[in-house]
Amino acid sequence: MADFTPGERRDDPAGERETEVAGGLADAVRDLIDATVRSEIDLDEQDAIRAQIEALTARLRKEQLPTSYGTAFSYSSGRHHWGNAVIGQRNPIAPPVRVHRDNGRVSAEFRLSSAYEGPPSFVHGGVSALILDQMLGEAAASSGHPGMTGTLSLRYRYPTPLGRLRAEAEVARVEGIKTYAEGRILVEQDDGSWRASVEAEAVFILPRWARERLAERQATGDAAANPFEAR
């Protein structure tokens, strides 16, 4: 594994290779999770597969980080939230959602498998909240006014089916250290249009430690610095 240190930024010639290999491994485990949920093979065969998976897990644990992944940096491949539960390419729990950012507006198309089921054939409401929290936070950061979630309110318009979905979010307004954002999960209709199944509003607050870090960087002429990014 490339020797990333969470919060550290440095040149990493192996970054592209790690993205390919680690991302591919996470994709394979996502597929394994879905297969595990839906498998109806013989129970003895399932038990044999469990033993093989435990052996593979032991191989992966031979060398690992002492803590969660955090955020890693490299000059060649940029900023990584690979452990994030929504966008993390190394995290098999993440769908993952690949976010397109445009100055305070963000969007993503993604697929939720049976691993994210709540009511039969529908997405769990908590999973919808997880994705929208991330998307609204991405919108706030994209606008140049990042923060941590203060409040998150959701309206479940109708059940969200498993499968292909779309999410959108944008910043509504900024008031001092508070950034207000809105977003939604959309379901494609038979006529090709998209209908919102879940809508969300959130307030993101720039915490004191981040404000102090931002002030320090602005004092050195780094006015565009993101206070959540380490140096």
pLDDT of res. 81: 78
pLDDT of res. 72: 63
pLDDT of res. 216: 81
Residues 172 and 178 sit within 8 Å (Cβ to Cβ):
no
Closest CA to 102 of 1, 43, 171, 197: 171
The whole-model pTM stands at 0.85
Average of per-residue pLDDT across 26-43: 96
**Is residue 183 in a domain?**
yes
**Is residue 113 in a domain?**
yes
**Is residue 104 in a domain?**
yes
**Is residue 34 in a domain?**
no
**Is residue 150 in a domain?**
yes
Query: 43-95, pLDDT tens digit by residue?
Result: 999 999 999 999 999 999 999 888 887 766 554 445 567 889 999 989 999 99
* CATH number for the domain harbouring residue 131: 3.10.129.10
Domain membership of residue 158 as a residue range: 97-219
Number of domains making up the chain: 1
CB proximity list for 97: less than 8 A, separation 6 or greater: 86, 87, 108, 110, 131, 134, 135, 167
Query: 149-169, pLDDT tens digit by residue?
Result: 999 999 999 999 999 999 999
**Is residue 165 in a domain?**
yes
3-state SS record for 10-33: CCCCCHHHHHHHHHHHHHHHHHHH
**Is residue 74 in a domain?**
no
**Is residue 62 in a domain?**
no
